[in-house]
């Protein structure tokens, strides 16, 4: 049995411990902790819809689902914030040249960085989801395992964010890299919204009445080809609330994200291989 | 005994360092261009094992670019470089190579000890071996008592010492130093010089990139002078410095043409 860890794991370990020291991580963690503390109160509230009081189970499921989305989105934001400065910080603090002057290949360095940051963001998101899972389970007097399954599925979104921000931070300034990935998420969300709207009964009726062209091809292309971060999150959340497996058709956003991770990851390794180390 | 020269990986050396001399570093028509700027222009030379070699040149001559290419921090536009008998593009060529950067930086939130320990662990050492090595290195660089304080409290000279310490971890056979005494005071310069001389006596190959010509003259065996990316001369210091000349005189004469 080897006594020492492989270089990728070592670099991942150093990345993780270094990032935890960052102010942005501490601030975001504090904000999320406050958010969860506030959400705790929602589970005990009385909610009325159309004059009818909602039963406790429905409230718990709706609040849990909402919290799930907020945490998943927050984790993506935090991951993007942390990822955008990783290479630059390593370069400025001399760790990049220190690591690469050792018999460690560049791909191992990049893989270690990806792994470290991914594990950190996954731990962050999963721990917050776990707190909500515990609160929901206590209030419901029943265990909601699907909540944790949904959280696991969101791991791929975080991997996408890490890889995309890493790649873009090699091509442009850190802030632009962050904003670009934020933009990717927002455009995906808008495309999903427009697609959903175009398929609503009201929109169909309006299109039929006005005689406007029902050609949504451009938006359809965006809908299918754009990184489907929100789609993957929605697919994951569909497990919560006892809806069960929504069918293989809705697995597409997850495949889309995995394919993007693969493509952007390959580009990242290729780009870093040709990068001059300062 | 005649010194035979071979260029093959040091790990094939089963005969001991005294008998044979191996090419630790070899540049074959190495060229590096950044757009229209040619930083290194068709440079070829080699450094034998156990040699104390200095690469000299004015600012912007291409010295650091050569160091970067040796460590695969930058890829040559054409030509090839080998370290330890292996192409510099292979990670294995950096086995048993120590490197100190010109402006050494260490993460400010680490202590000197933690930094050395990281460097040791990256060389695949177990925690126990790493701790032993770090203890020895701290003594060697004369930083006992300060190793557990944060790097943010260190002076430039202290950071440079820890940088040199990190380069010495794992008992490298080749030490690549880019301006190692740049931030040191005269006492520090003397201590580092003595340390490097003792390392050379132990058979270590030292590739020094320096501006301190008087230091180079005192301690180096061979030197190469480059200017505007071109190799002007490569010879033994004793052959370059003749009569009442100093290395500085030779350097100025060659660079100014």
Residue of B32, B33, B90, B107 to mutate, testing the A interface (most A Cβ within 10 Å of its Cβ): B107
B126 touching A (Cβ < 8 Å):
yes
Q: Residue B180 has what pLDDT? A: 86
Of A229-243, A254-268, B220-234, which range is least confident? Answer: A229-243
Total domains in chain B come to 1
Give domain status of residue A2, yes or no: no
Q: Which is nearest to A13 in space by CA: A116, A157, A153?
A: A116
pLDDT in tens, B182-226: 778 888 888 888 888 888 888 899 999 988 888 888 889 999 999
pLDDT in tens, A168-223: 999 999 999 999 999 999 988 888 888 777 777 777 777 666 655 556 667 777 77
Mean pLDDT of chain B: 87
Q: Residue A111 has what pLDDT? A: 96
Tell which B residues from 179 to 238 touch A, by Cβ distance under 8 Å: none
Tokens encoding B252: 């100025």
B91 touching A (Cβ < 8 Å):
yes
Distance from CA of B164 to the nearest CA of A (A): 11
pLDDT in tens, B2-28: 444 445 444 444 444 444 568 899 999
Q: What is the DSSP string of A76-117?
A: HHHHHHHHTTHHHHHHHTTHHHHHHTSS--HHHHHHHHHHHH
Of A16-30, B108-122, B126-140, which range is least confident? Answer: A16-30
What CATH number is attached to the domain comprising B39? Answer: 3.40.50.300
Q: Residue B19 has what pLDDT? A: 44
Distance from CA of B186 to the nearest CA of A (A): 25
Give domain status of residue A217, yes or no: yes
Q: Residue A243 has what pLDDT? A: 60
- Under 8 Å between Cβ of B78 and B31: yes
User: The tokens 């480059």 sit on which residue?
Assistant: B226
- Under 8 Å between Cβ of B52 and B198: no
Tokens encoding A230: 């929100």
3 state DSSP class of B12:
helix
- Under 8 Å between Cβ of B40 and B30: yes
Contact residues on chain A for B91, CB-CB shorter than 8 A: 103-105, 108
Residue B138 pLDDT class (50, 70, 90 cuts)? very high
| Mean pLDDT, rounded, for A249-258 | 87
pLDDT at A119 over 90: yes
Interatomic CA distance for residues B72 and B155, integer angstroms = 29
Interatomic CA distance for residues B15 and A221, integer angstroms = 68
Share above pLDDT 70 across residues of chain A, in percent, rounded to a whole number:
91
Q: Residue B229 has what pLDDT? A: 93
Residues 6+ apart with CB under 8 A from B184: B157, B160, B161, B192
pLDDT in tens, B39-94: 999 999 999 999 999 999 998 899 999 999 999 999 999 999 999 999 999 999 99
pLDDT in tens, A215-241: 666 777 777 889 989 889 988 888 876
More confident residue, A278 or B112: B112
Fill in the DSSP letter of residue B26: E
**Cβ neighbours around B139 below 10 Å, total:** 12
Tokens encoding B220: 């180096």
Total domains in chain A come to 1
Distance from CA of A82 to the nearest CA of B (A): 17
User: Whole-prediction pTM value?
Assistant: 0.88
Distance from CA of B3 to the nearest CA of A (A): 29
Nearest-Cα residue of chain B relative to residue A14: B118
**Cβ neighbours around A201 below 10 Å, total:** 7
Dihedral Cα B106, B112, B118, B120, nearest 10 deg: 120
Give domain status of residue B166, yes or no: no
Give domain status of residue A1, yes or no: no
Of A156-165, A175-184, B121-130, which range is least confident? Answer: B121-130
Q: Residue A46 has what pLDDT? A: 72
Range(s) of the domain holding residue A183: 7-273
Element (H, E) at B136: helix B127-140
More confident residue, A243 or A274: A274
A182 touching B (Cβ < 8 Å):
no
Give domain status of residue B145, yes or no: no
pLDDT at A43 over 80: no
Contact residues on chain B for A274, CB-CB shorter than 8 A: 75
Of A23-32, B120-129, B229-238, which range is least confident? Answer: A23-32
Nearest-Cα residue of chain A relative to residue B164: A98
Residues 6+ apart with CB under 8 A from B39: B32, B33, B62, B65, B229
Range(s) of the domain holding residue B47: 1-86+216-257
Residue B230's DSSP bridge partners are B227
Interatomic CA distance for residues A190 and A202, integer angstroms = 18
Residue A91 pLDDT class (50, 70, 90 cuts)? very high
Give domain status of residue B199, yes or no: no
More confident residue, A249 or A116: A116
Give domain status of residue A139, yes or no: yes
The backbone torsions φ and ψ at residue B54, rounded to the nearest 5 degrees and listed phi first, read: -115, 135
Tell which B residues from 43 to 62 touch A, by Cβ distance under 8 Å: none
Interatomic CA distance for residues B190 and A92, integer angstroms = 29
Give domain status of residue A252, yes or no: yes
Mean pLDDT of chain A: 86
A103 touching B (Cβ < 8 Å):
yes
Interatomic CA distance for residues A7 and A10, integer angstroms = 5
pLDDT at B32 over 50: yes
Distance from CA of A179 to the nearest CA of B (A): 27
Interatomic CA distance for residues A15 and A19, integer angstroms = 6
- Under 8 Å between Cβ of B131 and B159: no
């Amino acid at each position: 049995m080897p006594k020492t860890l492989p270089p990728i794991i070592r670099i991942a370990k150093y990345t993780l411990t270094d990032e935890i020291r960052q102010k942005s991580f501490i601030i975001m963690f504090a904000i999320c902790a406050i958010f969860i503390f506030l959400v705790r109160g929602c589970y005990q509230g009385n909610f009325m819809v159309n004059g009818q009081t909602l039963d406790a189970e429905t409230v718990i499921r709706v609040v849990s689902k909402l919290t799930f989305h907020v945490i998943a989105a927050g984790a993506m934001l935090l991951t993007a914030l942390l990822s955008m400065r990783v290479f630059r910080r390593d370069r400025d603090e001399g760790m990049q040249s220190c690591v690469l002057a050792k018999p460690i290949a560049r791909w191992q360095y990049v893989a270690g960085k990806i792994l470290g940051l991914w594990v950190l963001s996954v731990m962050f998101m999963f721990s917050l989801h776990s707190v909500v899972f515990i609160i929901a389970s206590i209030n419901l007097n029943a265990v909601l395992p699907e909540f944790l399954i949904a959280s696991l599925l969101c791991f791929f979104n975080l991997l996408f964010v890490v890889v995309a921000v890493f790649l873009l931070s090699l091509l442009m300034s850190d802030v632009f890299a962050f904003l670009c990935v934020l933009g990717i998420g927002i455009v995906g969300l808008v495309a999903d919204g427009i697609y959903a709207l175009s398929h609503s009964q009201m929109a169909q009726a309006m299109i039929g009445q006005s005689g406007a062209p029902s050609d949504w091809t451009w938006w359809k292309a965006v809908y299918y080809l754009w990184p489907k971060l929100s789609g993957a999150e929605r697919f994951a959340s569909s497990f919560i609330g006892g809806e069960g497996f929504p069918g293989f058709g809705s697995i597409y956003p997850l495949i889309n994200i995995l394919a993007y991770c693969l493509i952007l990851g390959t580009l990242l390794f290729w780009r870093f291989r040709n990068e001059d180390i300062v | 005994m005649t010194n035979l020269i071979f260029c093959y990986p040091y790990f094939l050396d089963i005969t001991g360092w005294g008998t044979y001399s191996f090419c630790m570093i070899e540049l074959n028509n190495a060229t590096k261009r950044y757009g229209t700027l040619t930083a290194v222009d068709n440079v070829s030379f080699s450094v034998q094992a156990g040699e104390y070699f200095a690469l000299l040149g004015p600012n912007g001559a291409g010295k650091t670019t050569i160091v970067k290419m040796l460590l695969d921090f930058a890829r040559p536009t054409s030509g090839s470089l080998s370290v330890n008998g292996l192409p510099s593009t292979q990670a294995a060529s950096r086995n048993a190579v120590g490197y100190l950067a010109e402006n050494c930086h260490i993460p400010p939130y680490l202590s000197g000890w933690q930094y050395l320990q990281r460097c040791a662990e990256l060389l695949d050492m177990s925690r126990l071996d790493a701790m032993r090595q770090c203890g020895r290195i701290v003594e060697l660089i004369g930083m006992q008592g300060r190793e557990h304080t944060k790097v943010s409290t260190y002076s430039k000279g202290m950071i440079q010492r820890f940088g040199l310490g990190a380069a010495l971890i794992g008992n490298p056979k080749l030490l690549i130093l880019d301006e190692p005494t740049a931030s040191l005071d005269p006492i520090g310069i003397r201590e580092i010089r003595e340390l490097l001389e003792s390392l050379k006596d132990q058979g270590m190959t030292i590739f020094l990139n320096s501006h301190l010509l008087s230091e180079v003259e005192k301690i180096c065996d061979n030197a190469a002078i480059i200017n505007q990316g071109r190799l002007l001369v490569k010879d033994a210091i004793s052959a370059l410095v003749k009569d009442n000349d100093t290395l500085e005189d030779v350097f100025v004469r060659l660079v100014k043409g």
